[in-house]
């Protein structure tokens, strides 16, 4: 647009008049940012989102917006205003991270999704780091405002050249963490080449319900080498509990039920197997494989 100096819809200005030629994406330098201090800058964003709305677009991912965050805050606000004016609900997703937690109040006001890390790939160290990030961002999540731990690198990756490097246990840990922390679930693998285990992992309705319809999601800090989260199903007195073993050896992971305000025995349902799994009293404890996870629904007896 700047090279051709195209007109800004509804104004006498042109693209070069609103461009910030000092704002260049480090990994994709063929475009400029918009200088929101200039006349016509908001009109430019309004015209872009009006065009997207006319196409029936529901989701817009704006790249190179979250770092440095403050340098792009005015453009994030401009996109938000443009969406409000375009006549169509559009989800605004900011990428990549790491979005600064200190700007949580701002980002959740003006965007619906924002990346909490740089690109996430199928490396255990990257997955382990997402635990802390999701814990730190938990206070800023609310309906319509979602900290985004990035796409799910499962199945066939790299344009079909290889399979995910995550073990089966790590894949379950990934899906369990994203679900209990309510990170958006977006498949990053090749949907044309899904094997049966990956398809089962992605389509477990009881697990997806945790991601889509739970409240009071929160981490519990219990013991080294473990992570524990809990939540409540919407409209229910039951509890969800996710147990994680982040060590390299098999380990029992437990949550004292008093952490949930429970004093009596509870029925336990294993959401991954889809089977009832006995009862628990005093604490919920399960042996987990290295880098493994379990996800359970607890109901009063």
* CATH number of the CATH domain containing 189: 2.60.40.1180
- Domain assignment present for 197: yes
- Domain assignment present for 145: no
Domain final position from 115, 148, 179: 115
- Domain assignment present for 223: yes
Shared domain check, 290 and 233 = yes
Domain final position from 54, 81, 115: 115
What pLDDT was estimated at residue 192?
93
Q: 32 is written with which tokens?
A: 């400029």
Domain that holds residue 34: 1-115
Does the structure show a pLDDT above 90 at 175?
yes
What pLDDT was estimated at residue 6?
95
Shared domain check, 182 and 54 = no
Cβ neighbors of 265 (< 8 A, separation 6 or more) are 279, 280, 281, 301
Q: Model confidence over 274-283: pLDDT tens digits?
A: 999 999 999 9
The count of domains in the chain is: 2
What pLDDT was estimated at residue 120?
98
- Domain assignment present for 86: yes
Q: What is the mean pLDDT of residues 113-137?
A: 98
DSSP 87-154: TS--EEEE-SS---GGGHHHHHHH-SEEESSS---S-HHHHHHHHHHHHHHGGG-BTTBEEE---B--
What pLDDT was estimated at residue 219?
98
Q: Model confidence over 245-268: pLDDT tens digits?
A: 999 999 999 999 999 999 999 999
How many Cα neighbours within 13 Å face the side chain of 148?
A: 29
Shared domain check, 166 and 107 = no
Does the structure show a pLDDT above 90 at 104?
yes
Domain final position from 59, 84, 115: 115
Shared domain check, 288 and 175 = yes
- Domain assignment present for 177: yes
Shared domain check, 101 and 165 = no
- Domain assignment present for 127: no
At 222, is the pLDDT very low, low, confident or very high (cuts 50, 70, 90)?
confident
Distance (Å, whole) CA 15 – CA 260: 56
For residues 261-294, b (16+ Cβ closer than 10 Å) or e, as one string? ebeeebbbbbbbeeeebeebeeebebebbebbbb
Shared domain check, 106 and 207 = no
Shared domain check, 167 and 104 = no
Shared domain check, 260 and 190 = yes
Does the structure show a pLDDT above 90 at 126?
yes
84, 49 Cβ separation under 8 angstroms: no
Shared domain check, 91 and 166 = no
Decide the pairing of beta strands 162-163 and 214-220. Answer: unpaired
Shared domain check, 300 and 185 = yes
Shared domain check, 288 and 179 = yes
- Domain assignment present for 152: no
């Amino acid at each position: 647009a700047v090279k051709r100096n195209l007109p800004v819809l509804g104004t006498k200005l042109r693209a070069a008049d609103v461009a910030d030629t000092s704002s260049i994406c480090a990994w994709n330098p063929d475009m400029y940012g918009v200088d929101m201090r200039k006349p016509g800058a908001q009109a430019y964003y309004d015209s872009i989102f009006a065009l997207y709305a006319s196409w029936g677009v529901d989701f817009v991912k704006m790249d190179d917006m979250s770092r440095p965050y403050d340098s792009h805050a005015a453009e994030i606000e401009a996109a938000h205003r443009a969406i409000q004016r375009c006549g169509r609900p559009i989800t605004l997703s900011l990428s990549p991270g790491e979005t600064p937690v200190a700007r949580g109040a701002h980002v959740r006001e003006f965007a619906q999704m924002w990346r909490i890390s740089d690109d996430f790939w199928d490396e255990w160290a990257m997955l382990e780091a997402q635990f802390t990030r999701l814990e730190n961002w938990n206070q800023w999540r609310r309906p319509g405002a979602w900290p985004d731990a990035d796409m799910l690198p499962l199945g066939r990756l790299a344009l079909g050249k290889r399979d995910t490097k995550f073990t089966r246990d790590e894949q379950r840990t990934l899906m369990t963490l994203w679900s209990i922390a309510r990170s958006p679930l977006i498949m990053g693998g090749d949907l044309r080449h899904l094997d049966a285990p990956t398809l089962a992992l992605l389509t477990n309705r009881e697990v997806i319900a945790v991601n889509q319809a739970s409240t009071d999601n929160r981490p519990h800090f219990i013991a080294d080498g473990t992570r524990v989260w809990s939540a409540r199903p919407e409209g229910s007195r039951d509890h969800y509990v996710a147990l994680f073993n982040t060590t390299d050896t098999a380990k029992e992971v437990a949550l004292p039920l008093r952490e949930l305000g429970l004093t009596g025995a509870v029925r336990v349902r294993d959401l991954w197997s889809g089977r009832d799994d006995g009862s628990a009293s005093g604490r919920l404890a399960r042996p987990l494989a290295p880098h493994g996870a379990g996800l359970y629904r607890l109901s009063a007896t």
